[in-house]
Chains A and B, each alone.
Chain A
Amino acid sequence: MNAANLSLQLLTGLQIGAIYVMIALGLTLIFGTLGVANFAHGALFMIGAYLGYVVAEATNHWVAFIAVPPAVFLVGIVIERTLVRFFYNRPASDQILVTFGLALVLQELMRWIFGGTNLPYGTPPWATVPVDIGIGYYPPWRLVIVGVTAAAVLGLFLLLRYTRFGLVVRAGMRDPEMLGFLGIDVPKRFTLVFGLGALFAGIAGVIGGPITGVTPDIGMAVLVPSFLVVVIGGMGSLAGAVISGLILGEAVSLSVLIYPPSTQIIVYLIAAVVLLWRPRGLLGVKGVME
């Protein structure tokens, strides 16, 4: 195995990790700020994929990329306003249960509307021809995924660091009660944060749909590893989510070279090991969700 081949495998790992990162970002944002474990996050990803397919088929991929994430953002807002916010004071298990139920309902709703078969969400014509990236040929769309994810992470970082809204969000992750005392409209902020998380899931759905396929169960399929990414990285830590997402992606990709039957288990193994050694996750913030 030479360097070029290994780097090809590493690149694949990067791309696999990218999807995890996108979803984990939304999850940890909602987790850290609202304290809600959003089991419906995978369903938001799935909705993004379905809407992406519909819009892309009707128009083209650019329109889909621009129109769908805001649509999912709105869906997130609606979910928060009508359902989730009544559960902030309910026990944690209730929050899990209601979002889990919501995920099932959304999944079956999509199955009812679109059927259970895989919808052929293709990539744009220019993306079907593999490009030579020096170390070999690679599907361009997967490079797009990596690029979009990087841009999204950067955008989120800038948002949180340099805007007022971001400041409020970061403060809210530490101590929402205090925020209220300071006169900030906490409910409105919460709604926006939930919507933001949904936005990320929507973006992931639009660009990831062609890779994962478009069926009702992709939501749940992507949710469990993403939750692990969040937990490994540390609840409420965005940098942690990014790092652990990449680590897990690489682990999945490289395990194929070492011992293929372990590809599926490796994610859980790493989660188990990390959580037993560092229960708070790699970069977990003390006091969050303890």
Chain B
Amino acid sequence: MTSNKSRFPKPLSRRAVVRATALAGTAFGACLAAGRGPLGFVRDAWAEKAYPALGNYPIKGSTVKFGFTVPLTGAYTDEGNDEIKAYKLAVKHINEGGGILSTLKPLNLKGQGILGKKVDFVSGDNQTKPDAARENARRMIERDGIIMYSGCSSSAVAVALQYLAQEKGVIYMVGLSHSNDTTGKDRRRYGFREFFDAYMSGVALGPILAKEYGKDRRAFHLTADYTWGHTQYQSMKDATEKQGWKTVKNIMTPLGTKDFSQYLTAVLNSDADVVVLNHYGADMVNSLTQAVRFGMRDKQVNGKHMQIVVPLYSRLMAKGAGAKNIEGILGTVNWNEKLTDAGSKIFVKAFQDVYKEPPSQAAQTAYLQTILYANAVERAGTFYPPEVIKALEGFEYEGFGPGKSTYRASDHQVFKDIYVVRGKAPSKMANQFDLLEIVEQIPRKEVEYDSKLLGGDLGPYIPNKT
């Protein structure tokens, strides 16, 4: 068995014993995981079956470490800050109980850590860059011995981290990533994504856009030039063209562009009457504000009022752009803090009590992913990654957000209802955080698609030993 661990070689005897019991242990563990018997409060190492060493498994000691790599600098800093807050909250709830542990079903966690071990964490700034993220993650895996890592706000980062996870045998719970590729052509066995993807956004928005703005529209796209932007553009193009719209042109803008003036003048120079901003984070804040300043909201083209669409929304971005600018603009979100189900309400309250402001969708997905992982470990009865993976695959749960959600086994993507939202008029805002109103909740079956649609191959349970 090849392992990437670079620790001091242990005394031969223990290693031999562990290997000898590997087969028996795997069989026993599989029985435990498959069975529904109460796992009880397992405190000792013996209760966790002796699987072969893989990644940073097995864990020594009474604490288990998670690694969180979030962007604290770069285009997606705001989401990164929110994510780390949510991660801290999730760790607290895992260790002490509370939060959605009271609403999530089926729940195996007891609010006393995972399998009797307390959870600790390390974190790093990935600067919204894939290589910094990989360095962070590598360091956390090799030096800090983390058993799982999570976090990102850029799909490029997510993809890079997923490949690393597959290589190192350490599970990666994707943070905020919207690109189709993350669970599409770049899907990996060791990566899991709860956040919805661009395809779902496109399918959800298409009909609503046609309803609001008519079927005879000409759209100009400005797209962030990386994996997420590409797939978002593709999905929006397909969805709107299905409704009868024409796509005039698409211009790729580098991630982190500050000044969009030359692109916006190009839009004004064309005969488009809708501009779709396939941007997120700071990109969107800048491009939207500048688009408004260039008079796009008041412009009339072909007798129609010009419209702006922001397919992927977030409350943080809305705040950055300002209520006046986002008023009336349509987009989609993964989750909204105004949802009325018990789980959402508890999460919002817990977050607000600590941080004095409501959580964003970045925080929501970060929090949920951590809890789902911990829960899966408890279900599997072990930290051994392939078993945890199997526990997550096909996992159906409810108790946070609307209805039932499923972690689909064929692509490690969660499917659930998503939301189309619209920016609120400043006069209608209840408080400074009340920026988005829900237009429609799109049921899950409308946005589901065949996993073969996006291609990709998950890869093996045990990392390759070429």
Contacts and interface: CB of A to CB of B under 8 A. Distances in A.
A11 B290 CA distance: 15
A43 B73 CA distance: 17
B302 interface: no
B81 A212 contact: no
Nearest to B225: A261
Contacts of A252: 262
B200 interface: no
B262 A130 contact: no
Interface residues of B, number: 29
Contact of A264 (B254, B266, B295, B320): B254
Contact of B252 (A5, A6, A221, A261): A261
Given A8-B268, A212-B259, A260-B251, A120 B320 contact: yes
Summarize B's interface: helix, strand, loop or mixed: helix
B294 A139 contact: yes
Contacts of B298: 130, 137
B263 A256 contact: yes
B40 to A, nearest CB: 46
Interface in B229-268: 251-252, 254, 258-259, 261-263, 265-266, 268
Given A116-B72, A137-B294, A256 B320 contact: no
Given A117-B77, A118-B77, A260-B251, A15 B294 contact: no
B286 interface: yes
Q: Is the interface of A mostly helix, strand, loop or mixed?
A: helix
A106 interface: no
A257 B285 contact: no
Given A128-B293, A130-B295, A16 B252 contact: no
A247 to B, nearest CB: 15
Interface in A12-50: 12-13, 15-16
B78 interface: yes
Nearest to A15: B261
Interface string A171-193: 00000000000000000000000
Given A137-B295, A139-B294, A213-B282, A263 B262 contact: yes
A142 interface: yes
A111 B73 CA distance: 9
A12 B78 contact: no
A257 B266 CA distance: 7
Contact of B262 (A137, A138, A212, A253): A253
Nearest to A249: B262
A147 interface: no
Contacts of B74: 116
A123 B285 CA distance: 14
A283 B78 CA distance: 45
A12 B282 contact: no
Contacts of A1: 269
B269 A257 contact: yes
20 contacts: A9-B262, A9-B265, A9-B269, A12-B265, A117-B81, A120-B320, A123-B293, A130-B295, A137-B294, A137-B298, A138-B294, A141-B293, A212-B258, A213-B286, A217-B73, A221-B258, A253-B261, A253-B265, A256-B263, A261-B252
Interface of B: 72-74, 77-78, 81, 251-252, 254, 258-259, 261-263, 265-266, 268-269, 282, 285-286, 290, 292-295, 298-299, 320
**For the complex of A and B, 5 pairs with smallest distance between CB atoms:** A137-B295, A130-B295, A116-B73, A5-B269, A139-B293
Given A15-B261, A130-B298, 14 more contacts: A8-B265, A9-B265, A116-B72, A117-B77, A118-B282, A138-B294, A138-B295, A139-B290, A211-B258, A211-B259, A212-B259, A217-B73, A221-B258, A256-B265
